[in-house]
Chain A
Amino acid sequence: MQDTGLVQTRYHQYQVVGRLKPSAEKGTRKADIYKMNIFAPNKVVAKSRFWYYMSLLKRVKKANGEILQINEIFEKKPSTVSNYGIWMRYDSRTGHHNMYREYRDVSICGAVSKMYQDVAARHRSRFSNVQIVRTAQVPDDMLRKTWNKEYLEKDIKFPITHRVLRPSSKALKKTFVARRPRTCFDN
């Protein structure tokens, strides 16, 4: 495959459909079908998370249930920058916390990937401790976080005041160089 340089997101969105397996001997002939949107690195994890939530919410275990369908959901407009809000809940070492977080990205999967990185850094929470409750695209005027709002300005522009130029690939990286690097390119 040709390397297009596209940055792959760590998480994908899957729609998992499943239910309690109907069985005559257990007296479960009819069972409601449940559909869930789940963010996971792959389908296997998505199915596992589906059973995790089902056992919490509907008392249906993997042993007694079946998955009817699993589809990946792709972004409709992957070339436009949107605002994404994520309502989530995480278990810290002492308790549960509900949170609302906002990210700007081209896809919800990108925003979710950022969110996991973010809470891992700020709260040391792992994937297994985080439950995504709801996600939504947020219109510009409803953004809550100031650090996102400032990028909505019409003619936004800013300089890069400091940067360390890297060699074009990691293989060319050197630990010691003869000259001190130039870090100011703001001219």
Chain B
Amino acid sequence: MSDENRRLVEAGRVCLVNYGPLVGKLVVIVTIVDGKVALVDGPSATNPVKRQLMPLKRLSITPIKCSIPAGARVKTLEKAYKDAEVEKKWAESSWAKTIARKAAKAKLSDFDRFKVMVARKTRARVVNKAIKAMKK
């Protein structure tokens, strides 16, 4: 693993909150307080997180980084966040897609699940038919 791809706890590192009331939100590490806690801020326009202390235990580190100095102010951070296209990169990652897919699946009603079942059966029928034809 090369050093630049390594996911490190550092100023500017984008993290996903994986525990607590802010679960699922993206935050950026602003300052490292000590080995267990960091000051984080979520500058997203749609899903903001107030600047606060967060235990590293609650953060999953993403490969995304925006370039800020440690202790950056809100406006500097907002600009760096936009420049690094954090939200676009995040939305394109398979990690985010999996989360979105799981959320969509959890939202389905009973009838929706039935429709999914029917659709899967229809697809399977077509696929199986094609495979059978190829086997002959």
Contacts and interface: CB of A to CB of B under 8 A. Distances in A.
A5 B51 CA distance: 11
Contact of A186 (B6, B33, B34, B57): B6
A106 B39 contact: yes
Interface string B1-27: 100001111110000011111111000
12 contacts: A79-B52, A81-B71, A104-B33, A106-B33, A155-B10, A155-B11, A155-B70, A159-B6, A159-B7, A166-B19, A166-B57, A187-B6
A186 B50 contact: no
A160 interface: yes
State which size class the interface on A falls in. 20 to 34
Among A81, A104, A159, max chain B CB count under 10 A is at A81
B86 interface: no
A142 B37 CA distance: 22
Interface string A144-176: 000110010011111110010110110000000
A165 B61 contact: no
Contacts, number: 80
B60 interface: yes
A163 B8 contact: no
Contact of B7 (A6, A106, A185): A185
Contacts of A166: 18-19, 57
Contacts of A91: none
Which 9 residue pairs of A and B lie closest in terms of their CB atoms, listed nearest first?
A157-B10, A5-B22, A5-B21, A157-B8, A79-B51, A3-B21, A81-B31, A168-B23, A104-B33
Interface of B: 1, 6-11, 17-24, 31-35, 39, 49-53, 56-57, 60-61, 70-71
A28 interface: no
B33 A105 contact: yes
Nearest to A159: B8
A80 interface: yes
Given A79-B51, A81-B33, A106-B39, A165 B9 contact: no
A22 interface: no
Nearest to B29: A157
